[in-house]
Amino acid sequence: MSGDQAPSLAILGAGVMGETVLSGLIRAGWNADRIVATDRRPERQRDLTERYHITMLDNTEAAAQADTVIVVVKPQDMAELLDEIAPVLRPGTLVVSLAAGVDTAFMEARLGEGIPVIRVMPNTPALVDEGMFAISGGTHSGQEHLDHVTEILASTGRVVTVPERYQDAVTAISGTGPAYLFFVVEAMIEAGVHMGLPRDVATELVVQTMLGSAKMIRETGEHPTVLRERVTSPGGTTAAAVKVLEDHKVRAAFLGAIEAARDRSRDLATAARAAAAEAAAAESSPGEGAGR
């Protein structure tokens, strides 16, 4: 472990999700001088420094100093980033990936023997401390690593440990899930506006209804079908609405959409491996165009 003064956590690739984690740590009381981050674009680096008072470094400087390195680049950029930091990691440094599709075997193969890795699927509601994180350990990680990552992430949401084989489905449900719910909210607001409600009134009605319904599911512990049935008066408005949703096969559309997300998560693993193979080919024959 590094000394008291050294940064103990590095966030490599501070885009949307990297900043979500970063802001959560700061809100949870982490001292900004214990966090370093990286990003490719200088204007983004300046912006993050101004807003969070953290130090922006390059990837190797950050990875060499931190006890825990969180990698949050797109799956296709992961091979290049892991190859860049592998030589500078100190033994025992924990590497945590938040990328969809990138499995622990892929990370371990690039980082080398003995580097513990954890795969996490986060979601953006962590920005308001209501995130959902599912974490899985790799071959060289133990319970202490899972506990450490749980402690870091728990400040911004709930954390569950799952077998890694569930991660593509998790990605489709909770990682991608906020987008489905935002989509439903958008559609309901537009319906309100279509029927003549002022947009701000429609938004207030829909957002509070979404929040209240989520809270009701959690706090009553009742099955959603039971809660829906309680809203559905015989011959009433809800029955009329649900019939239209069933006629349009909305339930089947959700199943299809979520399966598509799960399949895309699997494809991203293939894409990450293809990007790695392409980079290796370019490295071994630099004269043929794609060499760095």
Binding-site residues for NADP(+): 12-17
Question: Binding site for NADPH: which residues?
Answer: 59
Q: How far apart are CA 211 and CA 146, in angstroms?
A: 30
Kindly state the helix (H) or strand (E) to which residue 134 belongs, with its residue range. strand 131-137
Contact criterion met (CB below 8 Å) for 116 and 96: no
- Where do runs of H (alpha helix) occur along 28-98? 42-52, 59-65, 75-85
Q: How far apart are CA 159 and CA 67, in angstroms?
A: 21
Of the candidate spans 72-80, 139-147, 181-189, 212-220, the one that interacts with ligand NDP by CB under 6 A turns out to be 72-80
* 59 forms part of the interface with ligand NDP (CB under 6 A): yes
Which position among 18, 138, 175, 192 is part of the footprint of ligand A1CAB (CB under 6 A)? Answer: 175
Of the candidate spans 47-55, 92-100, 187-195, 283-291, the one that interacts with ligand NDP by CB under 6 A turns out to be 92-100
* 75 forms part of the interface with ligand NDP (CB under 6 A): yes
* Number of residues near ligand NDP (by CB under 6 A): 27
Q: 265: closest CA among 106, 101, 97, 104? A: 101
DSSP conformation class of 89 = P
Structure tokens at 200: 């701000």
Q: What are phi and psi of 70, to 5 degrees?
A: -105, 120
Which position among 1, 6, 33, 40 is part of the footprint of ligand NDP (CB under 6 A)? Answer: 40
Beta-carbon neighbour count of residue 130 at 10 Å?
A: 14
* 20 forms part of the interface with ligand A1CAB (CB under 6 A): no
Q: 97: closest CA among 144, 42, 49, 134? A: 134
The CB-of-82 to ligand NDP minimum distance in angstroms stands at 10
Site string for ligand NDP, 118-137 (x = CB under 6 A): ---xxxx-------------
Q: How far is CA 31 from CA 68, 164, 169, 267, in A?
A: 15, 32, 35, 38
* 56 forms part of the interface with ligand NDP (CB under 6 A): no
Contact criterion met (CB below 8 Å) for 278 and 290: yes
| Nearer of residues 23 and 202 to ligand NDP, judged by Cβ | 23
Q: How far apart are CA 189 and CA 201, in angstroms?
A: 9
* 72 forms part of the interface with ligand NDP (CB under 6 A): yes
The CB-of-46 to ligand NDP minimum distance in angstroms stands at 13
With 0-12 / 13-18 / 19 or more C-beta atoms within 10 angstroms meaning exposed / middle / buried, residue 76 is middle
Of the candidate spans 29-37, 53-61, 170-178, 272-280, the one that interacts with ligand A1CAB by CB under 6 A turns out to be 170-178
The CB-of-94 to ligand NDP minimum distance in angstroms stands at 18
* 116 forms part of the interface with ligand A1CAB (CB under 6 A): no
The CB-of-203 to ligand A1CAB minimum distance in angstroms stands at 24
| Nearer of residues 123 and 150 to ligand NDP, judged by Cβ | 123
Binding site for ligand A1CAB (CB under 6 A): 100, 171, 175-176
Q: Interface residues with ligand NDP (CB under 6 A)?
A: 12-13, 15-18, 38-41, 44, 59, 72-75, 77, 80-81, 98-100, 121-124, 175
